[in-house]
Amino acid sequence: MSTQFWTNEPTILLNKEYIFDLWPTSNMNYEQKLNAITRLIIIITILGYILTSSIRILVAGIVTIIVIFVMYKMRKDKLTSEIMKEGFKIKGNESSGLYEDKTKTITNPETLQSALKSEFKSGNKKNPFSNVLLTDIMDDPDRKAAPPCFNPEVDSDITKNIKKSVQFMNPGIKNTNKQLYGELWENYELDQSNRAFFSTANTRVVNDQGAFSQFLYGNMPSAKGNSPEDNLQREKDNYRYTHY
């Protein structure tokens, strides 16, 4: 696991493995370098205040630490945006107008959240993908279907529930969300590992047999009917001739 930045794990500054890292070196990663500089600033600030009793030294130390945090935050946001942005652009609208500009489509997030909560069975830390559990057969036979996981809002909720599930199953580890998923790369690995899990095709206790039958045999003519199409089924020359 990679080294955490001190805002994600404050105890890293006093960790016995890193406490003597006071100067950034070439073999350190970016977080380790910032942690080392922060330790050095804290030590210099404390010693300077003890020797001079000047408030200015404390203020300067605090401001410097805030600047370090801002630098880390800006770099992290930049890396996130670069990874999320694929770098492709459709030129159809500009050249021939063949493609619709979907960026102008506005979805009301409040309406979407309301629909997801009222029309579907939301997941939780014990069942992130909202699949049918054995206990649901007796306890919740009329449960609703799982929400569509291809929706970005649902996908985000599933990831949050998985992180809560990890904390639930590992109560001895404090704050697993930051310990295990504090870095961009660790969240990427989590997304990759989640690909093996999914909501099943049917997420209700009782299958919708009526809709399935309608799909298979919906408007199929039968020899038992009275319509002209049904009458044709009683003709022996008909390739689907049947008395049933």
DSSP 4-69: PPTTT-GGGGG-TTTTT--S--TTS-HHHHHHHHHHHHHHHHHHHHHHH--HHHHHHHHHHHHHHH
Ranges 134-138, 172-176, 182-186, 231-235: which has the least confidence:
231-235
Q: What is the pLDDT of residue 95?
A: 44
Contact criterion met (CB below 8 Å) for 132 and 200 = yes
Q: How many CB atoms lie within 10 A of CB 132?
A: 20
Q: Which residue has the higher pLDDT, 168 or 4?
A: 168
Q: What is the pLDDT of residue 128?
A: 92
Contact criterion met (CB below 8 Å) for 123 and 129 = yes
Q: Where are the domains of the chain?
A: 10-82, 111-196, 211-244
Q: What is the pLDDT of residue 186?
A: 87
Q: What is the pLDDT of residue 242?
A: 54
Contact criterion met (CB below 8 Å) for 32 and 205 = no
Q: Could you tell me the CA-to-CA distances from 208 to 159, 202, 212 in Å, in that order? A: 29, 9, 6
d(CA 126, CA 132): 12
Q: Torsion angle of alpha carbons 121, 122, 125, 127, nearest 10°?
A: 30
Q: Where residue 97 falls among pLDDT bands split at 50, 70, 90?
A: very low
Does residue 169 surpass a pLDDT of 80?
yes
Q: What is the pLDDT of residue 106?
A: 44
Q: Could you tell me the CA-to-CA distances from 235 to 119, 193, 221, 224, 244 in Å, in that order? A: 47, 59, 13, 12, 13
* pLDDT tens figures, 119-130: 888 889 999 999
Highest-confidence range of 17-21, 188-192, 219-223, 237-241, by mean pLDDT? 188-192
Tokens coding 145: 């279907």
Contact criterion met (CB below 8 Å) for 65 and 38 = yes
